[in-house]
Amino acid sequence: MGDKPTPAAPPTLTRLAADALIETIDGPVEIVKLVGKVMPVLTRFADGQLGFRMMTQIRELEAEANLIRLVNADGQVVCVGAEHMFVRADGSEVPASGLVVGDRLEPGWSYLPGYILPDAAEYAADVRGKPWENPVVIRSIEPGGSGPLYGASVRDTKSYFLTFGARCRAQA
């Protein structure tokens, strides 16, 4: 009796540059450091609650591809492939190639509706004392050079959060 061949990994909607940070149970980790491993990652359940599910099938998809560099309103940066799938604040999905400056993406953190940020020095001056707005807002989109692309699957919820703040779709 021979060994059974390993089944092919399921299709993925993830197209991350090697240095893209995933929100894991151990904190932010570059996707390249997770290749071949299984890791609990931050996700959102159907009831809206945040929690962790296993990211699996973490692998290199392409050795060389064009990257898109995204910067959010907080100045955080992530590079992804054109077909990387994000979740907008309204719940619709959009590939990175379909994003425009000003797009609002679903964030990995939230406050109750009507929450007012404290008027305190640890908050940026332009948000102190104002109602919290949850979405991750795209501030700039530009070519990000080229490099390998990585993908993965996530059990149950099929989505995860980047340290960049936005929720991403791992698989259909």
First to last CA, the chain: 35
Looking at the structure of the chain, the number of domains it has is: 1
The answer to the question of residue 103 being in a domain is yes
Q: What is the pLDDT of residue 2?
A: 60
Helix (H, G, I), strand (E, B) or coil at 116: strand
Q: What is the pLDDT of residue 32?
A: 98
pLDDT greater at residue 124 or residue 12? 12
Answer for the pair 24, 161: CB distance below 8 angstroms, yes or no: no
Question: Does pLDDT of 111 surpass 70?
Answer: no
* 30-70 pLDDT per residue, tens: 999 999 999 999 999 999 889 999 999 999 999 999 999 99
* Residue (of 135, 130, 139, 168) closest to 44 by Cα position: 168
What is the domain-level CATH number for residue 65?
Answer: 2.170.16.10
The answer to the question of residue 8 being in a domain is no
The answer to the question of residue 29 being in a domain is yes
- pLDDT band for 126, please (50, 70, 90 cuts): confident
Kind plus residue range of the DSSP H or E element containing 28? strand 27-30
pLDDT greater at residue 67 or residue 125? 67
**Per the structure block, which two tokens stand in for 28?**
């932010």
The answer to the question of residue 9 being in a domain is no
The answer to the question of residue 1 being in a domain is no
| Alpha-carbon distance values, 78 to 16, 70, 75, 104 (Å) | 8, 5, 10, 15
Helix (H, G, I), strand (E, B) or coil at 153: strand
Which residue range forms the structural domain that includes residue 58?
A: 16-169
Angle at 56 between CA 51 and CA 58, to 5 degrees: 120
- Arithmetic mean of pLDDT over the chain: 91
The answer to the question of residue 7 being in a domain is no
The answer to the question of residue 2 being in a domain is no
Q: What is the pLDDT of residue 75?
A: 86
